Structure 1
């Protein structure tokens, strides 16, 4: 075969791939949104408890004092009712859907370019751990930049505390909706207010990079161990185990970054920046202060992540087959 023919064939392959790419991106985004919203809606109370424990630094009298997971849940229900456990659920679902949808969209797009550049198969099976981490980190940076305002709104809605009468009974408190909170933040602080906690959010990109790297490597190990093809669909149990283990691995390493981000986004605090949060947390709470809320976070994010990846994997297989 001549060199000219070879070039023509290669150009045709790239052209076909480029034409097919938007359809694949769209399917990954839809599957990611579906995978993000479902577990977030179910497990939101754990997320709220994690946030309240994370900002519970003992330096402000405006918020209730919490002592552990069970006490936090009991206090919230006593002071705010059961609905208090669902404060911020709307921006949480919107944020989770947007974040997972965009993340899978960008992650798979970047992987597609990497595999095309290396000449490996389209599934990404030819990429090593380093390239999976790089693709996840790049996708995380873009996703964090686009969704940070939603997470600021969610955090501040989760920190709308109910007021209590002298008898210890909760009083009625009007709920500030997502759009109202977003507008108020913009009026008070401008665009800067919508990007509170952005720096630790960018630093937390390492969380997604570690998680996706571990997930891809666990799937690769599973397929090789059972001698399956790289494109073969795994069973639900395999997806659950790979997702849960990868999440536990990433959370344990990167949780302090999430805590710092939550404290910066807290409307009741007056931290001057990331370095100030780090110093004051160390001064008043020590090392343990960086891991406040870790247990409810693990209880929430591990099954949530497992469900997200299971829903995503089955959704994307369905969409691609259709």
Structure 2
């Protein structure tokens, strides 16, 4: 059944990427994307491949809404300030200004939904052998708050903030700048009536997603590992025989211990399954957003 290992990007993200990122180097269970998926299929079945997906869906809806809305508002504010400073009423956003607007949008959206992202990671890595089970997103949120305090819900927030600046910022900046360049140069006749085909826009989104997630990925690894700190009920996939990997005193300490014990390559664990998920998801998100606005009759696009 070869098709079983070509499951949806959500499976790749929720299981392979997170488990690669947080597994203990002394207790390796996943040596590759395909092997990791096969192991989970064999030990937990189809349900294990979608573990935490409900929480992810509940998180992604408000996250995307806040992100796109914040980007438009930030773009308007930055463009207004830029025109005031330069005195040019016809000035447009440069790639650098788009990067700033995207960074603002990413920070706002990430901060608004961070607790849900935090418990999603914990729900994903727990197994049937774990001595304690989170029954769902709300149960996990309540349990973490009760047992570890409010601050635990935002553990790993700092590397997330730092990481979201290049990640979301580059997504928007590359996507919009690449679209503008294609409209201006129109190579291979890709533009028609000052409009790009959906497939071309999907390509722009794929390029943006690839660049953004590659640059910011090490911070995502550190964020996931810091989210597991203090979780005494983590499965052995995370803790192994030693809990040293879970004891971080901050972002810098997490970087230092990860590189010292596992090498620089550990900062890119799970990059392949993450790319399989991120590249199409970012592309589809951008294009869907613009298409839905067309259907609803909203004339303003992201880059307007």
Give the match for residue 251 of structure 2: 274
Q: CA offset at residue 192 of structure 1?
A: 0.5
**Matched residue SS, 1:204:** helix
Counterparts of 2:24 and 2:125 in 1: how far apart (Å)? 13
Structure 1, unaligned stretches of length 5 or more? Answer: 1-40, 165-172
1:189-228 equivalences under 5 Å are: 189-205=148-164, 206-226=166-186
Q: Calculate the TM-score normalised by the size of structure 1.
A: 0.77
1:75-154 paired onto structure 2 within 5 Å: 75-117=39-81, 118=83, 126-154=92-120
For 2:111 and 2:272, the matched residues in 1 are separated by 27
Query: Which of 284, 295, 299 is residue 307 of structure 1 equivalent to?
Result: 284
How far apart are the structure 1 equivalents of 2:195 and 2:156?
Answer: 38
Distance 1:101 1:285, change over 3 A: same
Q: Deviations over 1:181-214 (max 9, x none)?
A: 1100100112101101101110112211112111
The structural deviation recorded for 1:66 is 1.4
SS state of the match for residue 58, structure 1?
coil
* 1:161 partnered with 2:127: yes
What's the counterpart of residue 9 of structure 2?
Answer: 43
CA distance in structure 1 between the partners assigned to 2:133 and 2:254 by the alignment: 31
How many correspondences in the alignment? 268
CA distance in 2, matches of 1:197, 1:174: 22
Shift of 1:44: 1.4
| Structure 2 residues without counterparts, runs of 5 or longer | 1-6, 235-245, 300-304
Q: Deviations for 1:207-262, whole angstroms, at most 9, x for unmatched residues?
A: 11112111111011011112999x95421111111000111111222210111111
Tell me the SS of whatever aligns to 2:122: helix
Counterpart mapping for 1:175-254 below 5 A: 176-205=135-164, 206-226=166-186, 232-254=194-216
1:110, CA displacement in angstroms?
1.3
Structure 1 residues 25-58: Cα deviation after superposition (integer angstroms, max 9, x where no partner): xxxxxxxxxxxxxxxx952111121000011232
Which has the greater radius of gyration? 1
Contact kept in structure 1, 2:114 and 2:153, CA below 8 Å: yes
Secondary structure, counterpart of 2:30 in structure 1 = coil
| Preserved contact between residue 58 and residue 65 of structure 1 (Cα < 8 Å) | no
- Secondary structure of residue in 1 paired with 2:24: coil
Q: CA deviation at 1:276?
A: 2.0
Name 2:293's counterpart in structure 1.
316
Secondary structure, in 3 states, of the residue corresponding to 1:126?
Answer: coil
SS at match of 2:297: helix
Give, in whole Å, the separation in 2 of the partners of 1:274 and 1:178: 25
Question: Is it true that 1:58 corresponds to 2:18 in the alignment?
Answer: no
RMSD: 2.5
* Alignment TM-score, normalising by the size of structure 2: 0.81
Residues 55 and 136 in structure 2, CA contact (< 8 A), matched pair in contact too:
no
